[in-house]
A and B are shown apart, each in its own frame.
Chain A
Amino acid sequence: MNWTAIDRRRLLAGFGGVLAVTALPRNVRGGGSLFLSAYATAGSGAVTFGVAALDAAGAVAFATPLPGRAHAVVPHPVRGEAVVFGRRPGRWFVPVDLADGEAAAPVAAPEDRRFAGHGAFSPDGRLLYAVEDDVPRETGAIGVYDAADGYRRLGAIPTHGVGPHDLVLLDGGRAAAVANGGVLTHPDTGRVKLNLEEMESSLTVVDTADGRLLSEARLPEEHANLGIRHLAGRPDGSVVFGVQDERPTGAIQPLVGLHSPGGDLRLFEAPEEEWLRFEGYIGSVASDGPTVAGSSPRGGRIGVWDADSGRWLGSAPLPDGCGLAVAGAGGGYLATSGHGAVAPISPHAPDRVSGHGAAGFRWDNHLTRLG
């Protein structure tokens, strides 16, 4: 495999904002943040899966093989470690040392649970929340793990919805917003969608201490075919959400919106021909504060909106582009694609995209910025 090695100090600097290693220069070589993404290898050989650290220019610091295809990567807020979740129906997550990419032993899901692919650390780093399906009860749950004790499972709290996928913590970790896609699956039939007619998607907010339902929001009936699948938190406590059309009717529908701290859902606006390009499918969302971005790998477009007004700012073409992260402290986005592209996106001129390739890698759905 062939990738550009980059300075290990720079990798450490990537999460140095929190770590004691801030003594290391943060902007070696004028670079900025480092990012984590699951990948599949590209090329003629057998496909293998793993997790990689890369910079905004597409240089890869490490690439670590994993037991199978992975999904989201969650950095620990204090330790130089990240947790990589297996793709749903996920049977494991793997802690990875960010200094060298070395993977610890996978942590297996309980027999009656399957991980959904996303999770979050509590702000103090003590707990890991893993979104999961409670298989026998056909309902959503959040597995709670002790990150200070080898990821010992402490228990689970309900998501108060079916088919949960993504989660963001609110209110200093006291609450979790969960995207319940509404679609039921079962390990016997893999990713087959089993309840499309009755699907009921919701965005719930759950008390992380006791699992109590704090609020629940649904899209209006005319959008009952849309499943809320991905979330991104904003500093004011609002949450960006992206949806997927699980039961296509041919109608043009909005696919990205904002959940206010009060619990209302507001769908953003975009020209109809732009929504059309998104093919009913948002794969990832992010917000740099003033703006919001949502990617459609099926449409090969990334849309950008003004967060407060919901006004459409434009879109960036990126074939099979899905991974989306805030580029750095100055805002803007970095996007990745299944064809290996790594592309900065300016919220103010999104249509001007020039990317870098990372030969040998197909970047999976999600990109996470370190520090």
Chain B
Amino acid sequence: MRRRTVLTLAAGAAATALVPVARAAAPSDTAFLDRLLRSHIQPRLDRLAAAATDLAQRLERFCAAPDAAGFEAARAGYHGAMDAWAGAQHLRPGPLLLEMRGDRIAFWPERRGIVARQLAAVLAARDPGVTEPGAVRKQSAAVQGLTALERLLFDDGVGLSAFTDGEAGRYRCALAAAVGANVAALAGEVRDDWTALTPRLLAGEATSVGATPRAAVENLYASLVTMAQIVADQKLRFPLGDGPGDARPTLAEAMRSGRTLRSIALNLEAMSAMVLGENGGPGYAVLLPDTAEGTAARTAAVNAFAAARAAAAAAPGPFAEAIADPGRRPGVEAVLRATRSVQTVLVQTFPPLIGVALGFNELDGD
């Protein structure tokens, strides 16, 4: 079967005839993508690949001679990989979406309890084949990535002894190391796929990121919108529930390692960088027109992201307790409100000004 990504398309020019969008005077799509790739996308994917490799190495060293220092180093490696994941998670189109790589790197949100159930089954069976190099990638996505690793390293009652006591301890450690190696392999594939597709993308060819450079610009923008929705709904609204008594901490991301809010803050930072630019490169704001309206939109984005990041930094933790505590909960609700303001800027303010036709029907998967 041929791959969707290898065909070159003559883009249907007529396809834009019915889109009510005025293009701004802005850099060409390929020039924008070129600079965005170098300043934002590639550095963040490099960081993810490096952090995942570091995690894998820490786990391998730990399991070779488990001790308290190695355990702490492994946990720190998990946090490093999660930090990098939160900083790249918004780059959804293309390599991360293909072959469910995003889900395999971090299986969240999960079907209730499935990661725990599947991990328990693997740990009980102690099949040495599962911890062989490359074998984890053939297992269920639920046990392949960082969500499973968090369970292995941070689950209730887990300490150093969980990795040292007998056969069960040795197997748990070997499984953790195998999962770490799998995350490193996946992150490397994502980075390498992007590297490989970049020349074709910049030559105007069809890639998994988009059928044309224009489609790539739009798909990457749409993924920012999706990411804002993930933060607002999946990471905040669902666990918050309707009130302190309705809070559902088990729905929170990375609750066991206590880094729910940290990941949210890094998601917001990454989205902000893709809109406002970083490392001397452009964000989507450079596509705004040089008019009063364009300037106002840029200011709105600067303010909305600053407020959301400040709210996330100020929110009292730990998240799972704070959302059920009437005293601390308002601080978390403030993050949700501020993220909603970011969504408004991304969904309503920017699209008509930057010439991105944000679909209404295409986003919802119905």
Decide if B20 touches A186 in the complex (CB within 8 Å).
no
Contact of B4 among A117, A247, A280, A339 (CB under 8 A): A280
Smallest CB gap from A118: residue in B:
B366
| Complex Cα spacing A67 to B97, Å | 33
B interface residues, how many (CB within 8 angstroms): 44
* In the complex, chain B residues whose CB is within 8 Å of the CB of A341: 18
Separation in Å of the A193 CB from the closest CB of chain B? 8
* In the complex, chain A residues whose CB is within 8 Å of the CB of B251: 188-189
The reply to whether the CB of B279 lies closer than 8 angstroms to some CB of chain A is no
| Complex Cα spacing A198 to B12, Å | 36
Contact of B1 among A195, A253, A340 (CB under 8 A): A253
* In the complex, chain B residues whose CB is within 8 Å of the CB of A301: 12, 15
B25-33, B47-55, B168-176, B355-363: which one contacts chain A?
B355-363
* In the complex, chain A residues whose CB is within 8 Å of the CB of B362: 281, 283, 297-298, 320, 322, 338
| Complex Cα spacing A248 to B114, Å | 22
The reply to whether the CB of A159 lies closer than 8 angstroms to some CB of chain B is no
Decide if B111 touches A186 in the complex (CB within 8 Å).
yes
Separation in Å of the A295 CB from the closest CB of chain B? 9
Interface of A is mostly: loop
| Complex Cα spacing A156 to B12, Å | 46
Contact of A276 among B20, B206, B238, B366 (CB under 8 A): B206
A-B contact count (CB 8 A): 143
* In the complex, chain B residues whose CB is within 8 Å of the CB of A322: 361-362
Interface string of A174-196 (1 = CB under 8 A from B): 00000000001010111111111
Separation in Å of the B138 CB from the closest CB of chain A? 11
Separation in Å of the B195 CB from the closest CB of chain A? 17
* In the complex, chain A residues whose CB is within 8 Å of the CB of B348: 44, 47
Contact of A337 among B3, B4, B18, B100 (CB under 8 A): B18
Contact of B361 among A191, A244, A320, A353 (CB under 8 A): A320
Find the residue from B2, B4, B141, B251 having the highest chain A CB count within 10 A. B4
Decide if A252 touches B359 in the complex (CB within 8 Å).
no
Decide if A252 touches B112 in the complex (CB within 8 Å).
no
The reply to whether the CB of B161 lies closer than 8 angstroms to some CB of chain A is no
Separation in Å of the B317 CB from the closest CB of chain A? 22
Smallest CB gap from A244: residue in B:
B365
* Residues of B205-249 contacting chain A, CB below 8 A: 206, 208, 211, 233-234, 238, 248
Closest 5 CB pairs of A and B: A338-B360, A194-B111, A297-B361, A317-B15, A322-B361
**11 more A-B residue pairs beyond the given contacts A190-B233, A251-B1, with a C-beta to C-beta distance below 8 A:** A165-B366, A193-B365, A195-B111, A197-B141, A279-B211, A297-B362, A317-B18, A319-B359, A338-B359, A338-B362, A365-B366
